Chains A and B, each alone.
Chain A
Amino acid sequence: MLQLAVYGVISGSILALGAIGLTLVYGILNFANFAHGDLMALGAYLALFFKVGLGLPMWLAFPLSMLSTAFIAVGLDRVWFRPLRQRGAGVVLLAISSLALALILRNIIRMLWSPQARYYSRTIHFPFTVPLLQVRINWQQVLIFGVALGLVILVTLFLQRTKLGKAMRATADNFQLALVSGIDTERVVLWTWLLGAALAAAGGILLGMSVRLQPIMGWDLLLPIFAATILGSIGSPYGAMAGALIIGLAEELSTQFIPTEYKGAVSLLLLVVVLLVRPQGLFGGRRR
Chain B
Amino acid sequence: MALLEVQEVTVGYGELPILHGVSLRVDPGELVAIVGPNGAGKSTLMKTIAGLLRPQEGRICFAGQDITGWRPDRIVRAGICYVPQTENVFPSLTVDENLDMGAFIRQDDIRPKKEAVYALFPDLRAKRKARAGSLSGGQRQMVAMARALMLDPQLLLLDEPTAGLAPRLVGAIFDKIEEINRSGVAMVIVEQNARQALQRAHRGYVLAMGQNRYEDTGKALLENPEIRELFLGGR
**Contact residues of A with B, CB < 8 Å?**
163, 166-167, 169-170, 173-174, 176-185, 235-236, 285-286
Question: Are the CB atoms of B90 and A177 closer together than 8 Å?
Answer: yes
Q: Across the interface, which residues of A come within 8 angstroms of B98, CB to CB?
A: 170
- Point out the residue from A167, A179, A181, A286 that lies within 8 Å of B91, measured CB to CB: A286
Which B residues fall within an 8 A CB radius of A? 50-52, 72-73, 76-77, 81-82, 84, 87-93, 97-98, 100-102, 104-105, 133-134, 147, 151
Contacts of A185 in B (CB 8 A): 73
In the complex, given contacts A176-B52, A179-B73, A285-B91, what are 17 additional A-B residue pairs having Cβ atoms less than 8 angstroms apart? A166-B101, A169-B92, A170-B98, A174-B87, A174-B90, A177-B84, A177-B88, A177-B90, A178-B90, A180-B76, A182-B72, A182-B105, A183-B101, A183-B104, A184-B104, A236-B92, A286-B92
Cα A148 to Cα B197 in complex, Å, equals 55
Known: A170-B101, A285-B134. Contact between A182 and B84, CB under 8 A? no
User: Chain A contacts of B87 at CB under 8 A?
Assistant: 174, 176-177
- Nearest CB on B from A168, distance (A): 11
Nearest-neighbour CB distance to chain A for B106, whole angstroms, equals 9
Q: Are B84 and A180 in contact (CB under 8 A)?
A: yes
How long is the Cα–Cα vector from A55 to B68 in the complex, in angstroms? 57
Complex contacts, B151 vs chain A, CB 8 Å: 182
The residue from A173, A179, A181, A285 contacting B147, defined by CB atoms under 8 A apart: A181
- Most chain B beta carbons < 10 A, residue from A163, A182, A185, A286: A182
With both chains docked as a complex, state the minimum distance between the C-beta of B96 and any C-beta of chain A, in angstroms.
Answer: 10
Minimum CB distance partner of B100 in chain A: A166
Q: A182-B73, A182-B76, A182-B77 are in contact. Are A285 and B133 (CB under 8 A)?
A: yes
Once A173-B92, A173-B93 are accepted as A-B contacts, the answer to whether A181 and B104 lie under 8 Å apart by CB is yes
How long is the Cα–Cα vector from A285 to B131 in the complex, in angstroms? 11
A184 surroundings in chain B (CB, below 8 A): 73, 104
- List 28 A-B pairs, Cβ < 8 Å: A163-B100, A166-B93, A166-B97, A167-B104, A170-B90, A170-B93, A170-B98, A173-B92, A173-B93, A176-B52, A177-B90, A178-B90, A180-B50, A180-B51, A180-B52, A180-B72, A180-B76, A180-B81, A181-B101, A181-B102, A181-B147, A182-B73, A182-B77, A182-B105, A235-B92, A286-B91, A286-B92, A286-B133
A278 to B101, CA, bound (A): 30
Chain B residues near A174 (CB, 8 Å)? 87, 89-91
| Complex contacts, B88 vs chain A, CB 8 Å | 177
Q: How far is the CA of A185 from the CA of B93 in the complex (A)?
A: 17
* Complex CA distance for A177 and B98, rounded to whole angstroms: 11
Neighbouring A residues of B100 by C-beta, 8 Å: 163, 166
Complex: chain B residue closest to A172, CB-CB: B92
For A173, the closest partner residue in chain B by CB is: B90
Chain A residues contacting B101 (CB-CB under 8 Å) are: 166-167, 170, 178, 181, 183
Bound-complex Cα distance A169 to B132 (A): 13
